[in-house]
Structure 1
Amino acid sequence: MNHQDTPQKEPAEHLRFWAYLRMLEQVTDADEPGMVSDVLTDSDPTMAQSAVLRHLDRRAHELHPQPVYEPWAEMMTRATIRYPFLTQRLREWSLFRAVMLGQPWHPDALLESSNWLQLKTAEASAAAALEILADNGRTKRIRNTARTTIQHHGSP
């Protein structure tokens, strides 16, 4: 039997990543901050933050249109406060929420945000944000996506 015939073992951090995602999908609201904090203590900080990021994106996507989003985001910000990338993602979800729900927001905040948020917003149909991103988005892809979204949803 040669090396190609032997089954490859899944690396331990991959197994933990998928286990964390399963646990986070099933966690109760009350236990969520504690579980997020526990995951972030993993010996592989990059993997742990990646698992928490996936969880935050999934939950924020579900919750952002609802009033429960704000207390949830505050709770998750406290749980991730030592992880700048994760807290930044939560701030960007809050900005996305404000744009999509027609709440007050500042154009500079959108223009200073990450490519991730600009592209996510450009794919949505919030008229004021689309105009800003069509003209001033950070990348050509973001500008083109915003223009395409405007065309598909009618001129704002």
Structure 2
Amino acid sequence: MTGPHLDEEPAEHRRFARYLQALEAVAEADEADLVAAVLRDQDATMADSAVGRHLDRRAADLLTDPRFTAWAQTMTEVITDRDFLTLRLREWTLLRTIALGNPWTAEELTGATDWFQRTAATTQIVTSPKALRLLAECGRTSRIRNAASRQLRHRDQPN
């Protein structure tokens, strides 16, 4: 099919790209207002996706930073009615807890989403042998169990 409009990007794709750019460049003081504005977009799925990417980027950047807690509390207030975003932020908080060596429960880890378990098992964020062993034994998928097992083997190898 050919035509003058086939090469045009849909409006929601352009808005999504603009939102991502704005969220990446936003000043910390204006972040909550911008996130709230994005979430008011008529396309809730696209808005959630843009904010989800932003949360992932910011949470990863702030993971071991003392500012994470205040940031997460602020974001929780803004995203409170968005189930997916609330869950994702809660799981970033659990990743932080484990990364900092703070107390967590096996139920939190085994009951978490595939995304969480995969992230915990495949990145250097989680170095807790206890968490990695639990994922190697009880991870939801074979991909997660294998990745956690590899992380454990890698940790145990002498440098």
TM-score tier (shorter): over 0.9
Q: Structure 2 residue aligned with 1:136, among 135, 138, 147? A: 138
TM-score, normalised with respect to structure 1: 0.94
Q: For 1:3 and 1:126, how far apart are their aligned partners in 2?
A: 55
The offset of 1:147, in angstroms, is 0.4
CA offsets 1:17-39 (integer angstroms, 9 cap, x no match) = 00000111111111111110100
Letter in 2 for 1:11: P
Query: Where do residues 3-152 of structure 1 align in structure 2 (5 Å cutoff)?
Result: 3=2, 8-123=7-122, 124=124, 125-152=127-154
Letter in 1 for 2:130: A
Identify if the C-alpha distance between structure 1 residues 28 and 144 changes in structure 2 by more than 3 Å, giving closer, same or farther.
same
Letter in 2 for 1:27: V
Identify if the C-alpha distance between structure 1 residues 147 and 44 changes in structure 2 by more than 3 Å, giving closer, same or farther.
same
How many percent of aligned residue pairs carry the same amino acid?
A: 45
The offset of 1:6, in angstroms, is 7.1
Q: For 2:24 and 2:131, how far apart are their aligned partners in 1?
A: 31
In the alignment, structure 2 segments of 5+ residues that lack a partner are none
CA offsets 1:78-124 (integer angstroms, 9 cap, x no match) = 01001011011000000000111101111110110000000111123
CA offsets 1:5-52 (integer angstroms, 9 cap, x no match) = 976000100000000001111111111111101000111110000000
The offset of 1:126, in angstroms, is 2.2
Runs of 4+ in 1 over 3 A off after TM superposition: 4-7
Q: For 1:49 and 1:6, how far apart are their aligned partners in 2?
A: 27
Q: For 2:69 and 2:5, how far apart are their aligned partners in 1?
A: 50
Q: For 1:79 and 1:4, how far apart are their aligned partners in 2?
A: 42
TM-score, normalised with respect to structure 2: 0.92
